[in-house]
Amino acid sequence: MISFLIRRLLWVIPVLFTVAIVTFFLMHRAPGGPWDREKPIARQTQAQLNARFGLNKPLWFNPDAAEAAAARGENIFQQGRAFLDSQFFNYIIGAAQGNLGPSYRQVGREVEEIIMEKFPASAKLGLVAVIFSVVVGIPLGILGALKQNTVFDYLSLFVATIGVSIPSFVIAILAILFMSRMFGVPPIRRPNEWEGLGTAYILPGIVLGLGTMAFITRLTRASMLEVKRQDYIRTAQAKGLSTRAVIMRHMLRNSLIPVVTILGPAVAALVTGSFIIESIFGVPGVGEEFVISITRRDYSMIMGTTLFYALLVALGNLTVDLSYGFLDPRIRTRH
Amino acid sequence: MSTAEAARPFDRESVALLQRPPRSLWSDAWRRLKRNKMAIAGLVYIIFLAIVAIAAPVLAPHNPIRGNVREAGAYRQAAWLEDPNPKKSGTWEYPLGTDSVGRDIFSRLIYGTRVSLVVGFIPMIITTIIGTFVGLAAGFLGGTMDNVLMRFTDVVYAFPDLLFFIIMMTSLRETWIGNLWNGFLLLFVSLSIVTWVGVARLVRGQVLSLKEKEFVEAARAIGVRPWKIVTRHILPNTLGPIIVLGAFAVPRAIIAEAILSYLGIGVKPTTNPNAPFPTSWGDMILQGKVSMDSQPWMLIAPSIAIALITLAFTFLGDGLRDALDPREQI
């Protein structure tokens, strides 16, 4: 179990590294530099700014600095560090220490500072979405499976199909319009309504969680139907256990394992779905900030947020893999 | 079979009974699909949209790009909505109202069908072909090819698709690649880079299990060349799952395009009144969001259009899966 855990933990590093390489490479293909302002900045000032933020260094590797270090007679580690004294590796080393560099558009602010300031709202939204999807999705799936081919079953299948197929941002728009026209819920909330855990989070949370909820419903239903046919369920019934005990102790435990496995992709969907939902509902979170930075071409902000999201997704997958190994002993031995 | 039995003459009726046309996998699947009403409804709707997309210039009452100056800024309501201001009150000349520069929303919606279908189908076809080819090679040949593919898929699976699309589109949009075909090429490439991997992985898995089957072994034993084994025995048996995956890839690409357009980094807007792809539904949502209160149909119409097209493809995909692979049912 320990070696499985360590191997799984270490796998996050190459994944994030690759995401960083791809993002960095692509971002440097984009035209326009960090100092593009409406009023052009003097060439000298630009050179000074570049020197200050290390933007005058080579993009990937710095063989000149390595040679210089070798000429100074420094040891192999210092030479290696000098060889990697490039924009990319300095960024990576900084990122590993939690330093994502300055925002190109919000002058004087660091990317990680903005992310940390905006993260609580996103986390609260995600929490509402996860709670909604699990608390509604699992019972709906169980109900559908236990009362197969009845009204309940069709209802749960219907909700699941809608939720799986219609993209959340379309549902978000229709929900906002519906709520504001029918019940007078204001489409744009006041800024102070997002402080604390207010009612403002309910609608965006439900919309964000809808896709995951639908997926959980479908999966729970399918796996309950599978388990229902197993011999050990018949055994449990034959030895006279109450229906309640059969369902709770024998069916649920076994049928929820596949549900846990999809929570990883579900976390990814929640994380990446969140920025579009946040931007539509005006939730002051990382996602809204990300969308704004896309429209403003704030490259350092886009890059920092992408890495942050990739880290969240990787950690989400990791937790799920670990809990899966914990739930089902067969997985542990296989790895 | 004994000779006496073989020699026994059949009467005319039993011969007719025995001679019913052979039922192939495909005719079987088609019969199962036909029984699924939702899947057929989805298929019919998709065909309907394809006709709308092709016949857009005939069907659209107005030009989707050129606005009517007299309607500009009025935000005319949908036809059935009354408004005290006669300039804003709905008329059937503009069934779904007008936008900020007096363009007909209904006509734009019709033209938007084109972008959605093209973006849904073209990357799907490209990725299916590439993915099938790579998957067959990796599964059948194994070795280095297989290892490279699997490592690559690991990375692609770890990079959230939408984030990758966004990075691709923001960084390359203003370069020469981004300008080709109004940004369509870049969109196709971005969508394809991620999606082919799923197909390749699926095909590889299928090939690995089919390779061990008796009929492949039999073919090899009688000296069928490897290339023939792949094309005649393995490929036809993997087609079912590939088709199902393709059916689900289309709505995902449509949604991705809509989100990118909503973020303002999708296909480039054009001012050419004769452009074949003047607008997309995601772009319409982006513009409609500004006038949510004055012209809600600018927002509702493209939203419903996206909802319906994704529903149609999901129903069709579910139906195809049940028809082609009756074993797996989720």
Report the residue from A14, A170, A222 with minimal CB separation from B330: A222
CA–CA separation, B271 and A33 (whole Å): 28
Calpha distance A272→A288 (Å, rounded): 12
Facing A18 at nearest CB: one of B155, B264, B313: B155
Dig out the tokens for B312 from the structure: 């149609």
Closest of A143, A137, A202, A189 to residue A163, by C-alpha = A137
Q: How far is CA B203 from CA A112, B134, B146, B218, B242, in A?
A: 42, 8, 12, 21, 7
Structure tokens of B299? 């927002």
> Measured between alpha carbons, how far is B313 from B45 in angstroms, rounded to an integer?
9
**Residue B25: strand, helix, or coil:** helix
What are the backbone dihedrals phi and psi of residue A284, each rounded to the nearest 5 degrees, phi first?
A: -75, 65
Cα A244 to Cα B25: distance, rounded to the nearest angstrom? 43
Give the pLDDT of residue A158.
Answer: 84
Decide if pLDDT at B320 tops 90: no
CB B90 within 8 A of CB B79: yes
Would you list the DSSP string of B111-145? Answer: HHHHHHHHHHHHHHHHHHHHHHHHHHHHHHH-HHH
What's the pLDDT band for A335 if we cut at 50, 70, 90?
A: very low
Strand partners, B98: B104
Question: Average pLDDT in the A208-215 region?
Answer: 86
In whole angstroms, how far apart are CA B191 and each of A183, A294, B161, B188? 39, 19, 9, 5
Q: What is the pLDDT of residue B14?
A: 66
The C-alpha atoms of residue B288 and residue B303 are separated, in whole angstroms, by 10
Give per-residue pLDDT as tens, A153-189.
888 888 888 888 888 888 888 888 887 777 777 667 6
Contact between chains at B167 and A310 (C-beta distance less than 8 A): no
Q: How far is B25 from chain A (nearest CA, A)?
A: 26
Q: Encoding tokens for residue A264?
A: 């990883």
Per the CB < 8 Å rule, is A302 touching B299?
A: no
Q: Which of A306, A305, A282, A300 is nearest to A115 (CA)?
A: A305
pLDDT at B46: 92
Does B249 have pLDDT greater than 60? yes
**CA dist., res. A227 & res. A249, Å (int):** 12
- Architecture per CATH, domain A115-327, reads as Orthogonal Bundle (1.10)
DSSP code string of B246-286 = HHHHHHHHHHHHHHHHHTT-SSPP---TT-SS---HHHHHH
Alpha-carbon gap, residue A229 to A234, rounded angstroms: 8
Tokens at B52, concatenated: 């709308």
Most confident option among A167-171, B232-236, B306-310, B320-324 = B306-310
Mapping DSSP to helix (H, G, I), strand (E, B) and coil, where does residue A102 land? strand
State residue A155's pLDDT score.
83
Distance CA B235, CA B206 (A): 9
Residue A224 contacts residue A251 (beta carbons within 8 Å): yes
What per-residue string of b and e applies to A207-223 under the rule 16 or more CB within 10 Å gives b?
A: bbbbbbbbbbbbbbbbb
pLDDT of residue A324: 66
pLDDT at B50: 92
Tell me what the mean pLDDT of segment B176-203 comes to.
81
**Hey, what are A108's tokens?**
């004087």
Band of the pLDDT at B51, cuts 50, 70, 90?
A: very high
Share of chain B above pLDDT 70, in %: 88
In one letter, which amino acid is A130?
A: V
Tokens of B289: 């969001």
Which of B159, B265, B330 faces A310 most closely, judged by CB atoms? B159
Confidence of residue B45 (pLDDT cuts 50, 70, 90): very high
In this prediction, residue A256 carries a pLDDT of 79
3-state DSSP percent of chain B in helix, strand and coil, to 5: 70, 0, 30
Q: Is the ipTM of this complex over 0.90?
A: no
Higher local confidence (pLDDT), A94 or B218: B218
pLDDT band at B43 (very low <50, low <70, confident <90, very high): very high
Find the range with the poorest average confidence among A198-202, A285-289, B36-40, B112-116: A198-202
The C-alpha angle B291, B297, B302, rounded to 5 degrees, equals 100
Residues 6+ apart with CB under 8 A from A178: none
Mutation site, B38, B153, B159, interface A, largest A CB count within 10 A: B159
- Closest residue in B to A297 (Cα–Cα): B170
φ, ψ for residue A38 (rounded to 5)?
-65, -40
Band of pLDDT at residue A36, cut at 50, 70 and 90: low
Provide the pLDDT for residue A326. 67
CB pairs < 8 Å spanning A and B? 122
pLDDT band at A37 (very low <50, low <70, confident <90, very high): low
Confidence at residue B1, expressed as pLDDT on a 0 to 100 scale: 44
What is the average pLDDT value for chain B, to the nearest integer? 80
Judged by phi (left if over 0) then psi (alpha if -120 to 50, else beta), residue B36 lies in beta
Distance from CA of B295 to the nearest CA of A (A): 11
Give the amino acid at A86.
S
Task: Tell me the chain A residues in contact with residue B296 when contact means C-beta distances shorter than 8 Å.
Answer: 177, 181
Q: Which residues of B55-67 are buried (b: 16+ CB within 10 A; e: fewer)?
A: ebeeebebbbbeb
Closest Cα in chain B to A281: B289
User: Chain B partners of A297 at a C-beta cutoff of 8 Å?
Assistant: 170
From A87, A89, A65, select the one nearest A78 (Cα to Cα). Answer: A65
Q: Which CATH architecture group holds B37-60+105-323?
A: Orthogonal Bundle (1.10)
Q: Within a 10 A sphere around the Cβ of B240, how many other Cβ atoms?
A: 18
Question: What is the pTM for the complete model shown?
Answer: 0.81
Cα–Cα dist B47/B42, whole Å: 9
How many beta carbons lie within 10 A of that of residue B177, not counting itself?
A: 14
Q: Do B307 and A174 touch (CB under 8 A)?
A: yes
- pLDDT tens-place string over residues B114-152: 888 988 888 899 889 988 888 888 888 877 878 887 777
- Better-predicted residue by pLDDT, A63 or A287: A287
Partners of residue A273 in chain B, C-beta under 8 Å: 162
- Residue A86: closest CA among A60, A112, A119, A47: A60
Task: Give the mean pLDDT of B204-216.
Answer: 84
Q: For A175, which residue in chain B has the nearest alpha carbon?
A: B300
Does residue B330 surpass a pLDDT of 50? no
Residues 6+ apart with CB under 8 A from B76: B87, B88, B89, B90, B91, B94, B97, B98, B295
pLDDT in tens, A137-150: 888 888 888 887 88
Provide the token pair at A1. Answer: 């179990």
First-to-last alpha carbon distance for chain B, in angstroms, is 44
> How close A194 gets to chain B, by Cα (Å)?
21
| Inter-chain CB proximity A177 and B292 less than 8 Å | yes
What is d(CA A262, CA A213) in angstroms, rounded to the nearest whole number? 11
Q: What is the mean pLDDT of residues B223-251?
A: 85
Give the dihedral of Cα atoms A238, A244, A247, A249; nearest 10 deg.
-90
Give the pLDDT confidence of A2-30 residue by residue, as tens digits.
Answer: 777 787 778 778 878 888 888 888 877 77
* Helices B184-210 and B235-262, axial angle in degrees (round to 10): 150
pLDDT tens-place string over residues A61-106: 777 777 777 777 777 777 777 777 777 887 777 777 777 777 777 7
- Residue A319's SS3 state is helix
Which of A170, A185, A306 to mutate against chain B (most B CBs within 10 Å)?
Answer: A170
Residue B47 reports pLDDT greater than 90: yes
Segment B91-104 shows an average pLDDT of 76
Determine the Cα–Cα distance for residues B12 and B142; give it in Å rounded to an integer.
54
Domain spans, chain A: 48-103, 115-327
**Judging by beta carbons within 10 Å of its beta carbon (0-12, 13-18, 19+), is residue B308 exposed, middle or buried?**
middle
Over chain A, what is the mean pLDDT? 78
Q: Which residues of B touch A170 (CB under 8 A)?
A: 258, 285, 303, 306-307
Residues of B with CB under 8 A from a CB of A: 154-155, 158-164, 166-168, 170-175, 251, 255, 258-259, 262-265, 285, 289, 292, 296, 299-300, 303-304, 306-307, 310-311, 313-315, 318, 329-330
